[in-house]
Copies of this chain bind each other. A is one copy, B any other.
């Protein structure tokens, strides 16, 4: 995953433009993507697809002609969606267009001017303070013109046409955790899922935040009823603990599943839905109310590197990425394997010892966890409890419960409930 992040890092992404296109091209080497271009001016729900923004060059030259800020050094230097400018001005006139972080004097902030006519540069506070009075030349060779908004989706077909929606945003320039970590996690996940025989179909979205999700929703309203579960994946590479933010519903299966998966995988937090954050805002708007949560590590705004040049290749840890991926895989494992079963010997306990799957009780040793799982599955498999219910009530990890159910099915003690067995 980290290699993919390294390749995507230098590109100048925004909510439209060639940076997004190039990003999706690179991802499409790893998995087949359906790329969509939606023209400027298209009405998408309450919004309109904006003009496309591209940049050739952008710099500021100082009184002595030296370049003091250059977009080529870091695409964070240019405020996103800056209008074209070529002008000479005093430092005093330039100052209102310059943004820095006094409390982090070596970092470049990340800023945008979406849906406004404006321009600006971001630079380290140390650099800003070094500027001397005099005449400056400012050059932004950008275009803001009719074009299109670009997004992509990958679909992995399962035996059912019921869908799981996985989504990440692809509109941030040289920031790693936000959100190259999400892009790379979903790319690898898709490759992994592609090797499996799946029950659900998986739809993976690579969209510019807000306008991209809204565009996708506008164009796919008629398929939303197929979505049973969803997850926005973002900020999954920092070394903080995992955070799951519940869907608006709060008690959707995806909410129970992520809470279960995280509970068995170390320190974490589960927080309630709120209508601010990433594209769960759009998926969970009241007119759609999709069961979509959000998996992160440290939430946006709660680490100092957020939206600065310090969210770089070193900030994202391969071990954290791998841990996040493992958790998403575990959640999908629950989605794929949860079902209700019927104990075929529901009156008292069946004699497990005689069947050779259960050593005589007097002999109980260290494998208590697996044996307890057998007893839990038998006790709760009354057709009303799913395996996830049993995992939650017993306190055992889902995988242990699935394994126990499998052993019991093999010994003809348990039978899967066929109708309506989605969790």
Contact = CB atoms under 8 A, between A and B. Distances in A.
Given A114-B360, A115-B360, A275 B348 contact: no
A287 B362 CA distance: 25
A285 B351 contact: no
Contacts of A284: 379
A47 B353 CA distance: 11
Contacts of A282: 348-349
Contacts of A113: 360, 362
B285 A347 contact: yes
Given A111-B362, A248-B379, A46 B276 contact: no
B375 A275 contact: yes
A381 interface: yes
Interface string A361-375: 110000000001001
Contacts of A47: 348, 351
Nearest to A380: B286
Each complex incorporates copies of this chain amounting to: 3
Interface string A254-266: 0000000000000
Interface in A279-305: 281-282, 284-289
A85 to B, nearest CB: 18
A24 to B, nearest CB: 22
Contacts of A406: none
A405 interface: no
A276 B375 contact: yes
Contact of A285 (B210, B348, B353): B348
Interface in A320-351: 343, 345-351
Contacts of A375: 274-276, 281
15 contacts: A45-B347, A46-B345, A46-B347, A47-B348, A112-B361, A214-B348, A217-B347, A217-B348, A218-B348, A274-B375, A275-B379, A276-B375, A285-B378, A286-B378, A288-B347
A129 to B, nearest CB: 23
Interface string A178-191: 00000000000000
Interface in A102-144: 111-116
Contacts of A218: 348
Contacts of A345: 45-46, 287
A352 to B, nearest CB: 9
